[in-house]
């Protein structure tokens, strides 16, 4: 398949809000793929190329000055092979070698194709081709039951491999995909609820109420029959393997009274008083080879397999009973209750212990990947702050031609990080914007424009917007030393003056909280 055909499909997907139309466009593109193209194409569509990170960042891509071709000729496999070569480049002179390989690829691409490839490399495709939509498209393109496709994707942990089997194999091949110790499984995810009591009411029955840690999701596979060093595999939420960076987690699992097991859980680091450290401290262990001084501790909340017995189709109540026997003190703190007040009390206890909130889970539910249904509900307080818009970036995809991504600033009254009375950038967001809000932004911000850069319209700092966040983290990128986590727009506040915006010190205090 020519790359421009895949790009055209993503353009069609981005241009519509209809899930059915997205699925139809993707299914048509999937049907046109040859066997070897399926895996790479799925990686491109999810902005998760099979090569993973290839050592190229935003500056390396935007700093290229090349003349693109006008006639599309690149194929999906051409791009996949180029990414292979770039990812394999290492050692002395590798920076220049990667740059030359990027230039060669960019010169063979049209401007639109290069924009697509760049966003794939950066993991910022934003077409609306989420995994759930792609699963539906794979089912439609292959004429296979969606339940069979979803289950194969969950158990293989590989959307590309699932598509290859569905499109090129039989239904029996698809249904034969099973749970295997050592092969990561797509994690079960949660929807949200406003409170523990609300979550219980949604489930309508007794539920497991568990701590929700501000840590990193882990999935651990252990097979004692393998030689040490290959007996434990630790995977992140995205199914990236990090075993070599977390030896203390491997050691904790080796000490369990089992021969083979798959566990789902979270890990975080603790301070000297036994309280949770900042999320960033935990994540440092997954992104660095030199953060071994930060010791991680695992908590497990589910068990998918034990000693030859698959558990994913058994109810959570049965899995929790087995989990308790297997992991003992490593089990996530939790209770089983149908009492709303007891659930709320436990939620308050979780917050008092420094954790994010609670998970409320239907104890009759099997283990299933994705946010389908309401079997798992997460409850955590939402923080809101009034911030000021400093600049707005032009959108892409279906937002092309509209001002979309907001640069957000907090007030710096004392000038601790800049000019007294000025504003300090603390993050960006394009989340929570309705079509009406996008149209308003596109009309409004040019009226208060101060200047333009290549990607953004910079504006007078006078527009106040209410932003919801899950918290903050330390940042060396922003001068205030703090960055927003999971920021999204709640509403613009024309009733407020910029002088009423929250301060950088208010946000920094969350780091100490």
pLDDT tens-digit map of 32-66:
999 899 999 999 998 888 887 777 766 667 667 78
User: In terms of domains, do 148 and 231 share one?
Assistant: no
Q: How far apart are CA 477 and CA 149, in angstroms?
A: 41
Instruction: Give the 3-state secondary structure of residue 143.
Output: coil
Looking at the domain assignment, is residue 240 inside a domain? yes
User: In terms of domains, do 393 and 335 share one?
Assistant: no
Looking at the domain assignment, is residue 12 inside a domain? yes
* Residue 304 near residue 185 (C-beta atoms within 8 A): yes
Which pLDDT tens digit goes with each residue over 181-224? 999 998 888 888 889 999 999 999 999 999 998 888 999 999 99
> Residue ranges for the binding site for ATP?
210, 217, 237, 266, 301, 372, 378
User: In terms of domains, do 101 and 217 share one?
Assistant: no
Which pLDDT tens digit goes with each residue over 57-67? 666 676 677 88
- Concerning whether 431 is annotated as a catalytic residue, the answer is no
User: In terms of domains, do 488 and 354 share one?
Assistant: no
Q: What CATH number corresponds to the domain at position 463? A: 2.40.50.140
pLDDT(322) > 80: yes
Looking at the domain assignment, is residue 79 inside a domain? yes
- Count of C-beta atoms within a 10 Å radius of residue 224: 15
Q: What CATH number corresponds to the domain at position 299? A: 3.30.470.30
Model-level pTM?
0.70
Looking at the domain assignment, is residue 155 inside a domain? yes
Whole-number pLDDT of residue 382:
77
Which pLDDT tens digit goes with each residue over 99-149? 888 888 889 999 899 888 888 887 766 655 567 889 999 999 999 999 999
Residue percentage of the chain with pLDDT more than 70: 92
Whole-number pLDDT of residue 371:
55
Which pLDDT tens digit goes with each residue over 412-453? 988 888 777 889 999 999 999 988 899 999 999 999 999 988
* pLDDT tier for residue 272 given thresholds of 50, 70 and 90: low
Whole-number pLDDT of residue 317:
97
Whole-number pLDDT of residue 276:
72
* Residue 207 near residue 200 (C-beta atoms within 8 A): yes
Q: How far apart are CA 68 and CA 104, in angstroms?
A: 10
User: In terms of domains, do 344 and 409 share one?
Assistant: no
End-to-end CA distance of the chain, in Å? 53
In this prediction, residues 169-188 reach a mean pLDDT of 91
User: In terms of domains, do 209 and 336 share one?
Assistant: yes
For residue 342, the enclosing domain spans 191-379
pLDDT(513) > 80: no
> What is the pLDDT of the chain when averaged over all its residues?
88
Whole-number pLDDT of residue 50:
83
> Of 379, 403, 426, which residue sits at a domain end?
379
Q: How far apart are CA 145 and CA 339, in angstroms?
A: 39
Looking at the domain assignment, is residue 185 inside a domain? no
* Residue 428 near residue 406 (C-beta atoms within 8 A): yes
Looking at the domain assignment, is residue 50 inside a domain? yes
The rounded Cα 459 to chain-centroid distance in angstroms is 30
Looking at the domain assignment, is residue 31 inside a domain? yes
Taking the alpha carbons of 495, 498, 500, 501 in that order, is the dihedral positive or negative? positive
Which pLDDT tens digit goes with each residue over 463-478? 999 998 988 888 888 9
- Number of independent structural domains in the chain: 3
pLDDT(411) > 80: yes
Pick from 115-129, 170-184, 284-298, 331-345 the range whose average pLDDT is largest. 331-345
Whole-number pLDDT of residue 129:
54
Read out DSSP for 415-455? -TTSSTTEEEEEEEE-TT--HHHHHHHHHHGGGGEEEE-SS
Whole-number pLDDT of residue 46:
85
User: In terms of domains, do 16 and 143 share one?
Assistant: yes
Catalytic residue among 22, 140, 212, 361, which?
212
Looking at the domain assignment, is residue 179 inside a domain? no
Q: How far apart are CA 235 and CA 265, in angstroms?
A: 10
* pLDDT tier for residue 286 given thresholds of 50, 70 and 90: low
User: In terms of domains, do 426 and 485 share one?
Assistant: yes
> Of 379, 406, 425, which residue sits at a domain end?
379
> Of 136, 168, 200, which residue sits at a domain end?
168
User: In terms of domains, do 338 and 285 share one?
Assistant: yes
Query: Could you tell me the CA-to-CA distances from 125 to 7, 111, 288, 395, 396 in Å, in that order?
Result: 11, 15, 26, 11, 9
Whole-number pLDDT of residue 125:
65
User: In terms of domains, do 11 and 153 share one?
Assistant: yes
User: In terms of domains, do 388 and 373 share one?
Assistant: no
pLDDT(403) > 80: yes
pLDDT(368) > 90: no
What residues are paired with 465 via a beta bridge? 387, 492
Q: What CATH number corresponds to the domain at position 122? A: 1.10.3260.10
Which pLDDT tens digit goes with each residue over 348-358? 999 888 888 99
User: In terms of domains, do 214 and 109 share one?
Assistant: no
Whole-number pLDDT of residue 380:
81
């Amino acid at each position: 398949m020519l790359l421009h055909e895949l790009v055209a499909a993503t353009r069609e997907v981005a241009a519509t809000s209809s899930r059915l139309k997205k699925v139809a466009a993707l299914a048509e593109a999937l049907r046109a793929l040859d066997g070897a193209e399926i895996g790479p194409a799925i990686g491109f569509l999810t902005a998760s190329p099979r090569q993973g990170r290839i050592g190229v960042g935003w500056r390396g891509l935007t700093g290229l000055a090349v003349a693109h071709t006008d006639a599309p000729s690149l194929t999906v496999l051409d791009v996949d092979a180029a990414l292979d070569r770039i990812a394999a480049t290492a050692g002395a002179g590798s920076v220049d070698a990667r740059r030359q390989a990027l230039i060669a690829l960019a010169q063979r691409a049209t401007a639109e194709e290069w924009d697509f490839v760049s966003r794939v490399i950066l993991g910022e495709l934003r077409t609306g081709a989420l995994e759930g939509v792609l699963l539906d498209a794979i089912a439609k393109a292959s004429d296979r039951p969606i339940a069979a496709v979803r289950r194969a994707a969950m158990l293989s942990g590989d959307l590309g491999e699932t598509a290859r089997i569905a499109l090129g194999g039989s239904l029996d091949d698809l249904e034969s995909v099973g749970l295997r110790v050592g092969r990561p499984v797509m994690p079960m995810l949660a929807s949200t609820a406003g409170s523990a009591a609300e979550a219980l009411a949604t489930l309508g029955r007794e539920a497991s109420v568990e701590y929700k840690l501000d840590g990193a999701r882990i999935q651990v596979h252990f097979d004692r029959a393998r030689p040490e060093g290959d007996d434990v595999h630790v995977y992140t939420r995205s199914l990236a393997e990090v075993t070599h960076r977390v030896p203390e987690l491997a050691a904790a699992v080796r000490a369990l009274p089992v021969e083979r097991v798959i566990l789902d859980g979270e890990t975080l680091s603790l301070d000297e008083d036994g309280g949770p450290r900042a999320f960033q401290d935990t994540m440092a262990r997954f992104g660095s080879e030199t953060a071994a001084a930060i010791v991680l501790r695992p908590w497990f909340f589910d068990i998918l397999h034990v000693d030859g017995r698959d558990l994913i189709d058994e109810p959570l109540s049965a899995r929790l009973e087995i989990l308790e026997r297997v992991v003992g003190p490593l089990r996530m703190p939790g209770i089983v209750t149908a009492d709303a007040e007891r659930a709320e009390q436990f939620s308050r206890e979780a917050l008092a212990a420094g954790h994010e909130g609670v998970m409320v889970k239907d104890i009759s539910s099997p283990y299933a990947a994705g946010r389908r249904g309401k079997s798992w509900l997460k409850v955590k307080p939402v923080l809101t702050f009034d911030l000021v818009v400093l600049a707005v970036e032009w959108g892409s995809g279906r937002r092309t031609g509209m001002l979309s991504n907001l640069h957000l600033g907090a007030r710096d009254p004392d000038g601790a990080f800049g000019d007294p009375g000025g504003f300090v950038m603390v993050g960006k967001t394009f989340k929570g914007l309705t079509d009406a809000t996008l149209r308003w932004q596109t009309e409004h911000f040019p009226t208060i424009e101060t200047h333009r850069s290549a990607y953004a319209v910079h504006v007078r700092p006078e527009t106040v917007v209410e932003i919801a966040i899950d918290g903050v983290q330390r940042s060396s990128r922003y001068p205030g030393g703090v960055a927003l986590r999971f920021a999204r727009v709640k509403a613009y506040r024309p009733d407020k003056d910029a002088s009423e915006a929250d301060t950088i010190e208010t946000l920094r205090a969350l780091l100490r909280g």
